[in-house]
């Protein structure tokens, strides 16, 4: 066993795992406020990346203005999705809500493809392709940037949830009926969490787009984001970060050693297996709240 | 009207408990059956083999999924994988000289055995987590099917299904294949109709409504969850096998990928949870809609004089399919089956609407 190979796989895996956390954070935010497992987060990630490209290439703005503009657009897209599709489903059985987010996933994906076409396009945000050496280890610069952004977002959320609006969201996630009764606008809080998670999706879309190109593959980040969210606990922001780190590490190392044995493609297998094992062993994840069901 | 109830008096329990207590329903079923049986004579062979046949087989599969989702209330996001297991087992069996009927049943049994693996997740978690774990199992099954050469015949390979032989007779004509599909679909339908009034069906409904409460009144919920998973997997496995033998004629891993699972779920939701006639509607709707939509959009584009790109045209049906799921959930969450029932209830008492219970 070659230690430097192991370390390289582990560190690159962990860094890319932090980028999965970006997708997972969006899922966690929405689940926290409204108990809706958003299976459309992958599609929203993809849409965010396409909107950035549309603004940058279509209008011809430089990247650093296109990205905030796209985030602003996606903010309202997220609010719109909540208003049109999810608000009326409140209180319905979970199967309806799951199916709704799946329908949204299909709809957003297909509409994006129909408007902008499916060919992969590059997203250059000024990260050089030159390798970054950390001692003997070779790191991917994009992953490092992504990991830094994920860590920064975690810090932002850490402070955000101590502001007035953040406390409102926490109250909603704790008990929405009680929040209602003391005059918190639950609808507005939930809409705000959808909007924020759309902005997060744009961030994830930009970073992943710069790594793998902007194409339909971005929507497949859903499975990884979902696994990270479940592993960390569906209502834990910190859990999403730590689980991203863990999953990325596991995926990087396991697929690094498994791929030569099984002929490639073991990444998704590792992720799916992690999801199943998490659910079977510890359904509420590492840091999630363990709800006790009433009869 | 068609559904007049007046003058119908049930004088025995058997009458009142019949599958279709109203003569109007019986007439309608008879007409539909007659139509289904004579379809090879009245329909062109193209419609028969590209519309009716897949519709019937998919309906059988949707009924199987409805058993687990609509009746037992357990989420199954990996139903396509179950169908794939049945299909691959049956095809391998038939290729190795096992008689077709036994191979198909073997496919069903194999699917049921693996379906019980899915059920072990159900014994531990429910709701959202069950949905996610079955979704993950679907990914695992996809991976296994496409990465184990002994199953799929190598990656990106197609596995040719041998010609079908039913009771020693080779079935190759479109009419013959259609009747096989029709027979299986009717069998599943009759099973599901009767399930509703059997002890098993009532136990499943009790588990769906609240598994703890069911346990309190003496329904062993774990046992019934296992039974539900095994039964619905058996139906799914056999449907998958019949789908391959009568429609696709060759098995590839993509036929049973995760988007097929979601399509099946969409059929159940659009048709209506726990509705048998809804399963027929839902399968027809989701199967036929993309083709219709494509021709409609092409026609509209021609009318407006606009030229749409090939790529746009290819993706619009998907967008409409997603939009339909959204619209159905917003407008009529119980699906087409519920719409049919509303209409039927309206006609039952028409024109005396106030007489409705």
User: Could you tell me the domains of chain B?
Assistant: 31-355 (1.10.3470)
A229 close to A274: Cβ distance less than 8 angstroms: no
Contacts of residue B218, Cβ cutoff 8 Å, sequence gap at least 6 = none
Residue A172 lies in a domain: yes
A20 close to A221: Cβ distance less than 8 angstroms: yes
Which of A107, A272, A283 lies closest to B136 in CB terms?
A272
Residue A126 lies in a domain: no
pLDDT tens, position by position, B230-254: 999 999 999 999 999 888 888 888 8
pLDDT tens, position by position, B135-174: 888 988 888 888 777 777 765 677 777 777 777 777 778 8
Provide the pLDDT confidence category of residue A1 given band limits of 50, 70 and 90.
Answer: low
Angle at alpha carbon of residue B190, lines to B186 and B194, rounded to 5°:
170
B265–A99 C-beta distance less than 8 A: yes
A106–B213 C-beta distance less than 8 A: no
Whole-prediction pTM value? 0.89
Q: Is the bond leading into B305 cis (omega within 30 degrees of zero)?
A: no
A197 close to A15: Cβ distance less than 8 angstroms: no
**Total number of domains constituting chain A:** 1
pLDDT at A264: 67
Rounded Cα distance between A242 and A231, Å, is: 9
Indicate whether A72 pLDDT > 90.
yes
pLDDT at B67: 92
CATH number at residue A234: 1.10.3470
Q: Which residues from chain A sit within 8 angstroms of residue B136, using beta carbons?
A: 223, 227, 272-273, 275-276, 279
> What mean pLDDT do residues A214-223 have?
85
Indicate whether A118 pLDDT > 80.
no
Q: Which two tokens stand for residue A225?
A: 């984001």
* Largest distance between two CA atoms of chain B: 67
Q: Which residues from chain A sit within 8 angstroms of residue B312, using beta carbons?
A: 114-115, 117
Residue A156 lies in a domain: yes
Angle at alpha carbon of residue A168, lines to A167 and A171, rounded to 5°:
85
Rounded Cα distance between A206 and A145, Å, is: 11
Rounded Cα distance between A77 and A88, Å, is: 17
A88–B330 C-beta distance less than 8 A: yes
Provide the pLDDT confidence category of residue B5 given band limits of 50, 70 and 90.
Answer: confident
What DSSP string describes B306-320? Answer: ----HHHHHHHHHHH
Residue A295 lies in a domain: no
Closest residue on chain A to B313 (Cα): A114
A279 close to B131: Cβ distance less than 8 angstroms: no
Residue A128 lies in a domain: no
Nearest CA-CA distance, residue B171 and chain A, Å: 38
Residue A28 lies in a domain: yes
Of A102 and B6, more confident: A102
Residue A90 lies in a domain: yes
pLDDT at A129: 67
Whether residue B273 lies within 8 A of chain A, CB to CB, comes out as yes
> What mean pLDDT do residues A139-160 have?
85
Question: Taking chain B, what is the end-to-end CA distance rounded to the nearest angstrom?
Answer: 18
> What mean pLDDT do residues B32-44 have?
88
Indicate whether B2 pLDDT > 70.
no
Strands A137-139 and A132-134: antiparallel
Q: Which two tokens stand for residue B128?
A: 């959202």
Give the A-side interface with B, CB within 8 Å: 37, 85, 88-89, 92, 94-96, 98-100, 102-111, 113-115, 117-118, 223, 226-227, 230, 262-263, 265, 268-269, 271-273, 275-276, 279-280, 283, 293, 295
Residue of A27, A20, A12 whose CA lies nearest to A207: A20
Residue of B335, B339, B315 whose CA lies nearest to B327: B335
> What mean pLDDT do residues A91-107 have?
88
Closest residue on chain B to A89 (Cα): B330
pLDDT at A263: 67
pLDDT at B63: 94
Q: What percent of chain A has pLDDT over 70?
A: 95
Residue A167 lies in a domain: yes
What is the residue whose two structure tokens read 């602003």? A72
* DSSP category for residue B77: S
Give the ranges where B196-275 is alpha helix by DSSP (H): 199-209, 211-216, 221-243, 258-271
> SS3 of B5, please?
coil
Which of B129, B270, B334 is the best residue to mutate to test the A interface, defined by the most A CB atoms within 10 Å of its own CB? Answer: B129
Nearest CA-CA distance, residue A12 and chain B, Å: 24
Rounded Cα distance between B307 and A291, Å, is: 54
Nearest CA-CA distance, residue B112 and chain A, Å: 20
Which of B74, B81, B124, B135 is the best residue to mutate to test the A interface, defined by the most A CB atoms within 10 Å of its own CB? Answer: B135
Nearest CA-CA distance, residue A273 and chain B, Å: 7
A283–B311 C-beta distance less than 8 A: no
A234 close to A288: Cβ distance less than 8 angstroms: yes
Q: Which two tokens stand for residue A7?
A: 């370390």
> SS3 of B50, please?
helix
**Domain carrying residue A7:** 3-121+133-281
> What mean pLDDT do residues B18-39 have?
86
B232 close to B115: Cβ distance less than 8 angstroms: yes
């Amino acid at each position: 066993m070659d230690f430097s190979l192991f370390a390289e796989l582990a560190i690159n895996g962990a860094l890319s795992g932090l980028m999965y956390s970006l997708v997972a954070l969006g899922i966690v935010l929405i689940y926290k406020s409204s108990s809706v497992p958003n299976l459309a987060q992958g599609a929203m990630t993809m849409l965010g990346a396409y909107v950035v490209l549309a603004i940058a290439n279509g209008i011809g703005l430089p990247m650093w203005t296109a990205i905030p503009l796209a985030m602003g657009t996606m903010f309202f897209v997220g609010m719109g999705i909540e208003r049109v599709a999810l608000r009326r489903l409140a209180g319905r059985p979970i199967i309806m809500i799951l199916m709704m987010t799946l329908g949204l996933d299909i709809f957003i994906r297909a509409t994006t493809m129909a408007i902008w076409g499916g060919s992969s396009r590059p997203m250059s945000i000024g990260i050089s392709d030159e390798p970054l050496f950390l001692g003997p280890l070779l790191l991917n610069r994009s992953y490092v940037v992504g990991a830094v952004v994920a860590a920064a977002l975690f810090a932002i959320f850490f402070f955000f949830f101590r502001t007035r609006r953040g406390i409102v969201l926490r109250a909603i996630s704790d008990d929405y009926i009680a929040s209602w009764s003391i005059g918190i606008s639950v609808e507005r809080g939930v809409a705000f969490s959808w909007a924020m998670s759309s902005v997060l999706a744009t961030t994830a879309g930009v970073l992943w787009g710069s790594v793998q190109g902007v194409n339909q593959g971005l929507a497949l980040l859903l499975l990884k984001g979902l696994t990270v969210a479940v592993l960390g606990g569906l209502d834990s922001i910190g859990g999403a970060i730590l689980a991203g780190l863990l999953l990325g590490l596991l995926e990087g190392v396991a697929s690094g050693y498994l791929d030569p044995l099984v002929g490639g493609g073991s990444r998704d297998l590792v992720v799916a297996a992690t999801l199943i094992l998490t659910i079977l062993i510890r359904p509420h994840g590492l840091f999630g709240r363990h709800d006790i069901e009433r009869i | 009207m068609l559904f007049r109830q007046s003058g119908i008096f049930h004088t025995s329990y058997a009458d009142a408990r019949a599958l279709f207590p109203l003569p109007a329903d019986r007439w309608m079923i008879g007409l539909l059956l007659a139509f289904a049986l004579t379809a090879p004579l009245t329909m062109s062979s193209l419609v028969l083999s590209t519309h009716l046949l897949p519709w019937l087989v998919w309906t059988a599969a949707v009924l199987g999924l409805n058993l687990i989702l609509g009746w037992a209330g357990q989420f199954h996001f990996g139903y396509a994988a179950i169908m794939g297991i049945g299909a691959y087992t049956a095809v391998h069996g038939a290729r190795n000289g096992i008689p077709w009927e036994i191979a198909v049943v073997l496919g069903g049994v194999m699917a049921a055995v693996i379906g019980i693996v899915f059920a072990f997740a159900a014994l531990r978690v429910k709701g959202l987590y069950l949905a996610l774990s079955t979704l993950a199992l679907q990914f695992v099954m996809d991976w296994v099917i496409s990465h184990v050469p002994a199953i799929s015949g190598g990656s990106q390979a197609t596995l040719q299904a041998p010609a079908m032989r039913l009771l020693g007779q080779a079935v190759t004509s479109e009419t013959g294949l259609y009747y096989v599909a029709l027979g299986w679909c009717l069998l599943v339908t009759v099973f599901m109709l009767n399930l509703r009034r059997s002890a098993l069906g009532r136990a499943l409904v009790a588990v769906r409504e609240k598994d703890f409460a069911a346990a309190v009144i003496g329904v062993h919920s774990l046992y019934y969850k296992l039974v539900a998973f095994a039964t619905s997997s058996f139906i799914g496995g056999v449907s998958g096998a019949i789908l391959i033998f009568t429609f696709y004629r060759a098995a590839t891993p993509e036929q049973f990928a995760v988007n097929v699972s979601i399509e099946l779920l969409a059929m159940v939701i659009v048709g209506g949870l726990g509705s048998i006639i809804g399963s027929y509607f839902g399968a027809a709707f989701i199967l036929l809609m993309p083709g219709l939509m494509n021709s409609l959009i092409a026609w509209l584009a021609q009318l407006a004089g606009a030229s749409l790109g090939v790529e746009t045209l290819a993706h619009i049906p998907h967008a409409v399919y997603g939009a339909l799921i959204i619209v159905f959930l917003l407008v009529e969450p119980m699906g087409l089956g519920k719409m049919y029932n509303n209409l039927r209830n309206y006609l039952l008492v028409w024109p005396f609407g106030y007489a409705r219970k």
